[in-house]
Structure 1
Amino acid sequence: MNKQASPTSGDGTVGKALDVLDRVAAMGRPVRFTELLSDSVHPKATLYRLLQTLVSQGMLAYDESQQTYSLGIRLVRLAHAAWRQSSIAPIARPFVRALSEVVGETVHLAQLDGGQVLYVDKRNAINPIDMYSQAGKIGPGYCTGVGKAQLAFLEPAELDEAIKKQSFYRYTPETLATETALRADLEKIRKEGVAFDREEHEPGIICIAAPVLSSKGRPIGALSVTTSTTRKGMKELVEVRPVLLKTASEIAAAVEDWQFPA
């Protein structure tokens, strides 16, 4: 197994502790010390000390009977506070709900996080479809509607950096798996104002997405209407474009005075 990338040397103990938190969170389940040690860049004694500190601070919880570590209650509280303060989700929620009720399909709200997509809210259709995206999950930027809708409106230098962070893994035969193909699609998105996911991330899942832009044209999020090819075709999905764009504009207006992170 490949060793994980080490934290920046200047980050010191805080950086090392966050590195360990990331590893536990990435597991998605309670994890044993030996599992963390197997691909850790930290010596055994250092890793143990970091885990003990995180447990004592409530950032991790330790189950003595199972001898496993999991995310702690204090971290959960901080996550909820961050969601309220650093996400457009609380302000956008009524708009997301209203849009889902109008179109009768699943609506996603997402923001960019290091070139990738962080889903911050989701409103299911009356008859929901099983799909990857859930609030709190991270998805690829290059092959999701909400990802491309935001990438398309980044400044050139920001876009270059974001593209460097894309894996270009081919999830389906429709995935835009090269930088050239992605840039061509982003140029089209800038002209049309909406992005499409044509089964690029998951087979059978399609969406139309629109960026939520600040008054200066900066993407602060994206909104999508998602459905299955068993329910709708791309031509039918295009029909929701006017109400999607209207909702994205309403969200942008609602958060205009909100101090979102740069």
Structure 2
Amino acid sequence: MAKQTQVTQRELDGPGTVGRALGILDIVADIGRPARASEIQAASSLPKGTVYRFLQTLTDHGMLSHDPHRRVYFIGARLVRLAHVAWKQSSLAPVAKTHLDALASQVRQTIHLAQLDGGHVLYVDKLFPSRPVEMFSSAGKVGPAYCTGVGKAMMAFLGEDGLASVMAQQSFYRFTDNTLTSPEALLADLALIRKRGFAIDNEEHERGIICVAVPILSRNRILLGGLSITALQGRQDFDDLYKLVPIMQETATRIAADAADWRYPEIDIETKELGT
């Protein structure tokens, strides 16, 4: 089954010049290798001349690099530097690393650390066991929230306004026979997740892939991210994965405690809620 592109129409037709330039960068990133202008154009809804102007501007500012011999574009050094700074300042990965390493040594399973990026899941770290599971996700990739365990674990613990915003951005595309394809079905699942404290992915995004996931919440119950453990159906089953939930929750609590001094905008969120 063909997968949806991770570049949405909203990203391509974003507000003004900045939104459209970011859409071009998203296309180059999603292609995943040096790409010709014609490939980028084919993935864009913008006119050919507009795409070429953006490619030139982004190259002039170091956000893209251009190899004139191969006639390809790829992510530029300036964007790499900014991404590295963002990873250190805005990603849970540096805060969580020690705890993820400790968890990996105990469970020897594929572990994902993720955050919500608008209506999508942004994978910020991934640890492999000795027998890695081949699957869509990897650090830096963006995936759907409505049909991944870690996405649902995070959605379930959003506030009312935040959940409404994220729900409105879900495509409900059917990836497998088990994918939840309506808001009503997803909301019912999220209610169950809140009650039991963890989510599952029962081959909802990829056939043969199952997982359990827990949210990472601050002491004030502000969502920081999510943590999941993934397995191949047939190699493990949910009974095996359920046994790992307590240690996952302990790890999530430790990550949240270390994140208390991290530059996460919890103060801003609380201030906004208080109306000050």
The TM-score normalised by the length of structure 2 is: 0.87
1:75 aligns with 2:82: no
Aligned to 2:252: 248
Question: Can you list the C-alpha shifts for 1:90-145, whole angstroms capped at 9, x where unaligned?
Answer: 01011111111111111110000011100000111121111111101111101111
Q: Does 1:219 align with 2:223?
A: yes
Confirm whether residue 153 of structure 1 aligns to residue 157 of structure 2: yes
- Assess if the C-alpha contact under 8 Å between 2:148 and 2:201 holds in 1: yes
Give the structure 1 partner of residue 273 of structure 2: none
- Residues 22-31 or 199-208, more deviating: 22-31
Figure out how many residues of one structure are paired with residues of the other and give that number.
Answer: 256
Flag the 1:253–1:33 CA change in 2: closer, same or farther, 3 A.
Answer: same
Q: 1:139 aligns with which of 138, 143, 156?
A: 143
Q: Which amino acid aligns with 1:6?
A: D
**Cα RMSD after superposing both structures:** 1.8
Q: Which residue of 1 aligns with 2:4?
A: none
Return 5+ residue gaps in structure 1 as ranges: none
Q: Percent identity?
A: 50
Unaligned runs of 5+ in 2: 1-7, 270-276
Q: Indicate if the aligned counterparts of 1:87 and 1:260 stay in contact, CA closer than 8 A.
A: no
Q: Which residue of the partner structure matches residue 13 of structure 2?
A: 6
- How many angstroms apart in 1 are the aligned matches of 2:245 and 2:258? 20
Is 1:65 equivalent to 2:72 in the alignment? no
4+ residue runs of structure 1 moved beyond 4 angstroms? none
Residue by residue, what CA displacement relative to the aligned partner does 1:134-167 show, whole Å, maximum 9, x if unpaired? 1011111011111001000111111111011111
In the TM superposition, residue 223 of structure 1 has moved relative to its aligned partner by 0.6
2:212–2:245 contact (8 Å) kept in structure 1: yes
Q: Equivalents in 2 of 1:171, 1:22: separation in Å?
A: 22
CA distance in 2, matches of 1:204, 1:64: 43
Q: 1:53 is matched with which residue?
A: 57
Matched residue of 1:215: which SS?
coil
Give the aligned residue type for 2:183: E
When residues 218 and 75 of structure 1 are mapped into structure 2, their CA distance, relative to the original with a 3 A threshold, is same
| Structure 2 CA distance for aligned equivalents of residues 37 and 189 of structure 1 | 41
Q: Which residue number corresponds to residue 41 of structure 1?
A: 46
TM-score (norm 1): 0.91
The answer to whether the Cα contact below 8 Å between 2:13 and 2:19 also exists between their aligned partners in 1 is no
